[in-house]
Amino acid sequence: MSLRFSYTLIAPFYDLAIRPAFDKVRQNTLLDFPSGGRVLVGGIGTGLDLPFLPRDNHYVGIDLTTAMLRQSQGRRDGLDLNLVQGDSQRLPFADASFDHALLHLILAVVPNPEQCLAETARVLKPGGTLQVLDKFLRPDERAPLRRTLNVLLRHVATRTDVVFEHTLARVPSLKIISDEPLLGGGWFRCIRLEKCA
């Protein structure tokens, strides 16, 4: 099964399942999100971040799944937002064309998180910032259950075996500004990064 197919099936139920757990987290982590720039929202999904983002940015949301994009369209509420159907691992945007980027619940979803992170770094301007929110194993974490579940889950919804530090090691142009544990005993983290000049 492809991720596009499974997220097409998930789309009508996505908000019901995800919104209650993450609304507060989104509100808190997006409180100081920068204003006045061009912002890439990778794997925008149904647009659950949109209500918490500052109004005075220009947003470009990309997602693989048309059914998810259709729902984010309904959540734009006057935001300056362009929606693009595409792959976050092969972004259809020029180098250094965004001031900031968001990767919420997408870096650990795509088959190749290194490629997704590298592509996001490529389209960021030097000094641009990236906020990542997702579930990551620690480098020394064995997590046998999550690694076993990953064999199935990676094909239908998300990977559960991604180690952020290993992913970041492949993208030297990004440096960590902050790394905050959130839900699931720190399995979910909010990581802010900056593209080196």
Name the site residues for ligand SAM (rule: CB under 6 A): 3, 7, 18, 43-45, 48-49, 62-65, 68, 87-89, 104-106, 109-110
Report the 10 Å Cβ neighbour count for 165. Answer: 13
- What's the DSSP call for residue 150? H
Give the C-alpha separation, 189 to 100, whole Å.
Answer: 19
**CA gyration radius for the chain?**
16
Nearest distance from C-beta of residue 169 to ligand SAM, angstroms? 21
CB of 119 to ligand SAM, least distance (A): 10
Task: Answer yes or no: are the C-beta atoms of 105 and 42 closer than 8 Å.
Answer: no
The per-residue DSSP string of 60-113 comes to EEEES-HHHHHHHHTT-TT-EEEEEE--TTS--S-TT-EEEEEEES-TTTSS-H
User: Helices 66-73 & 3-29, crossing angle to 10 degrees?
Assistant: 40
CA separation, residue 49 to residues 18, 30, 122, 174 (Å): 12, 8, 23, 23
Closest-by-Cβ residue to ligand SAM is: 45
